[in-house]
Chains A and B, each alone.
Chain A
Amino acid sequence: MRYFQSIVVGGGLAGLRAAIELNRNNVPVAVMTRVHPVRSHSGAAQGGVNAALGNHERGVYDSVEKHAFDTVKGSDYLADQDAVSRMCGDAPERIYEMEHWGCPFSRTPEGKIAQRPFGGAGFPRTCYAGDKTGMVMLHTLYEQVVRFEQASERNEMTVLDEWVVTHLITDGGVCRGVVALDLRTGAAEAFISEAVIFGTGGSGRVYRNSTNALISTAHGVAVPYWAGVPLKDMEFVQFHPTTLVGTNILMTEGCRGEGGYLLNKAGERFMAFYEDSKKAMEVAPRDITARNIMREIAAGRGFENSYVHLDIRHLGEQKIAKKLPGIRDICVGFLGIDPVRDPIPVQPGQHYSMGGVDTATDGSTVMKGLYAAGECACVSVHGANRLGGNSLLDTVVFGAISGKAAGEYIAGLASSGPNAKLADDALRKAKAEIDAVISLEGAESISRVREDLAALMTEKVGVFREREGLSAALDGVKALKARFSKAGFGGPRGLKYNFQVLNYYETRANLDVAEAIVAGALAREESRGSHSRTDFPFRDDGRFLKHTMAHFAPDGPRLDYEPVTLGKWEPKERKY
């Protein structure tokens, strides 16, 4: 058994920010992460992070309240307005703090943090560092973690990389630690702590066509889900309008924010053809843009029936080199085209999980001692559709909030400390389960089940949905679960850097979380934000202005609903 007063699971932006907050409040912390922190998927974020700083010449009248309104409207009124106000209110402080920690934001001519226009935002409020904002933020936070590591005299900041948390340890319904696999040895170990914060990111790899890293599986949300914590609003999956054809690597919204065009095969800026995007054109919110690209392709005006063009040629080589250098590198490296001379072939692809582990505004879950922040959590600030630039903001704001809340929770505990019996019991159970996985003798391949699930989700639970397809998807997931129960552990059973045990857990997680996504989508008979039902094309506030809560059960989720916290803004028709 090992003991840390607090444990953060996940070394991306949310997890690192939470760990820093715990340390600042004198709480020792261990960050347990599947990959070294700088390898986290936060680093793939490109376009920027929102805060109403008013640094742009067209942004002087921006305000926290306007940021909050844009976020609520963008969410199609499903976001909880108290959580949104908190996020937008904390935004300037969190961004200045990142800057003070060395984050190299691009600059205005006055030397302030530069901001660019993004979809669904009334003012240019997306702070950026070229088109590598996530990467420089991730590196900056890791640098601060190293600073805390070096400043601490008693190992108060510990990073354990290449550890995968497989189980929560609970005592009378209270979270008291985790069981985790050390990838290096393949051995499981029990960790006791007073509080655990999950910052494990999104579940993108439930889908095949995803911008997400290969490590962004549903396993992070599944561990709390399996332990009885509900998942909220899982049917809301963001499809980014512009992902590179073939690999689905992200082509930032910044391409359009900087003035890029979307063109059909006739070379027309087709966003003008649609009522909901003719005004905002290319900087319409992501849900609307993704739908209109799909409609354009369905109407036969796409290329090879599968993509459209993102054209940034008119921005000129100099602006592209200055503001979108990473985009140019990716296009050259992965597709052999240079966006200075050629339009970029793009199509919508899975990008972000609006849903996640249900949390209160302070990051706490229904399980005492367990917190979640960032993409794995659902507070909810993104509702039915997240605005670009709000995900990086979510990570640092709610990372800090949950770190603070967990610290206060620990300070208020009457008794605490290591608990060998609790650890041994949990470890024994987890080891028995892992041993059973290693001895699986079935003929089915775990990898094949995983791939087939991803293909099914991309095909049937995409931008547009309807009852028949969703029912087929639900049957399909159940059939895959049946196949998965007949899976075998292939190849040698030596466990050192043997990714098969991890593959088993991730596939099981993807199956269970996919089932929650499909069940939620099937039950929600309306169109709201990213959830577009062709058989129910309108938003239905009477029946569905509520959060879907999925509770885990082995044969499929049990759904119930929670009210949305409204406030200043009554739901209205969402027009841009």
Chain B
Amino acid sequence: MSKVTFNVFRFDPETDAGPRYQRYEIEQAPGLTVLGGLLEIQAKTDPSLAFRSACRAAVCGSCAMHINGQYRLACEMQTEMLGATVTVRPLGHLSVIKDLVVEMKPFWDRYKEIKPYLMPGDNPPEKEFIQSCDDREKLDGGIDCILCSCCYNSCPVVGTDPAYVGPAAALKADRFLRDSRDRAREERLLLTGGDHGVWRCHTVFSCQEVCPKDLNPTGAIADLKLGAIKAKLGLRS
């Protein structure tokens, strides 16, 4: 059976002088994913290798990493499609804690800053809010984000301004802006329209390009900008 070489970023900033790549050879097998390979290395060869994983089904967002030149989810990347060598390194804009495990706090801080929850005002109805199918459809895409942070880590603006709201948080903010049940339009536009807000976006579409769920954070950012302009001009949304 053929082999596949895993070329894996290793680094513990507390003990290592600098990062290095370590090579592992494992058996190629039909359906072997990058995550499958990493798990096999950890179980059989090198239990000290550190990475995150949970669902192995592309729904939890744990295993985002840089694989052969692009941010992807390790669990859904088939090694057969990547050639003889799989090169894996951690997410780029977050500091390395160990190997492929990075400090996610800045990502979650941006997420929390936009108030990522419905603000429907007081007195909810006795049963559900009535929302038309058309209004519900406006949430498609926005609600499909698994918060894996591929977009955040591919964004050149995040790289230069860590306080920048970033594509994932913007997508989340836009999801609430679009929700017919939400009553916090003004506040959301203020939260995303500040000095480190959506105006910093260079519209290079890298977030959209890498999204494992084919979502459109760039579009969400444009929507937030449009909303802010309309609000400024006193136009109805």
A interface residues (Cβ-Cβ under 8 A, vs B): 35-36, 38-41, 43-44, 53, 92, 95-96, 99-102, 104-113, 129, 132, 135-136, 139, 143-144, 146-147, 149-150, 184, 213-215, 246-247, 249-250, 326, 329-330, 333-334, 445, 447, 451, 490-492, 494, 496-500, 503
Contacts and interface: CB of A to CB of B under 8 A. Distances in A.
A111 B15 CA distance: 58
Interface string B131-165: 11101100100011011000000000000000000
Contact of B144 (A92, A100, A132, A503): A132
Given A213-B55, A496-B12, A112 B50 contact: no
Contact of A39 (B12, B31, B62, B111): B62
Contact of A135 (B39, B130, B146): B146
Contacts of A111: 130-133, 135
Nearest to B35: A214
Interface in B29-52: 31, 39, 42-44, 46-48, 50, 52
Contacts of B197: none
B132 A43 contact: no
A537 to B, nearest CB: 35
Q: Residue among B59, B117, B129, B130 with the most chain A CB within 10 A?
A: B59
A100 B136 contact: no
5 contacts: A38-B60, A107-B131, A110-B130, A132-B144, A499-B50
A113 B128 contact: yes
Contacts of B117: 101-102, 143-144, 146-147
B231 interface: no
Interface residues of B, number: 58
A41 B128 contact: no
B225 interface: no
B48 A498 contact: yes
B47 A490 contact: yes
Contacts of B139: 104
Contacts of B53: 214
Nearest to B112: A146
A447 B44 contact: yes
A43 B55 contact: yes
A160 to B, nearest CB: 13
A34 to B, nearest CB: 9
Given A102-B181, A104-B139, A147-B117, A43 B60 contact: yes
B56 interface: yes
A494 B15 contact: yes
Contacts of A39: 52, 54-55, 60-62
B130 A112 contact: yes
B98 A330 contact: no
Contact of B14 (A100, A447, A490, A496): A496
Nearest 5 pairs between A and B by C-beta? A102-B118, A497-B50, A447-B43, A111-B130, A143-B117
B143 A104 contact: yes
Nearest to B126: A96
B179 A499 contact: no
A428 B101 CA distance: 29
Nearest to B212: A333
A333 B58 contact: yes
B120 interface: yes
B58 A330 contact: yes
B153 to A, nearest CB: 16
A38 B61 contact: yes
A247 B132 contact: no
Given A492-B48, A497-B97, 19 more contacts: A36-B62, A38-B61, A100-B129, A102-B176, A102-B181, A102-B182, A111-B132, A135-B146, A143-B117, A146-B112, A146-B117, A214-B54, A330-B57, A333-B58, A333-B76, A334-B76, A491-B48, A494-B48, A499-B47
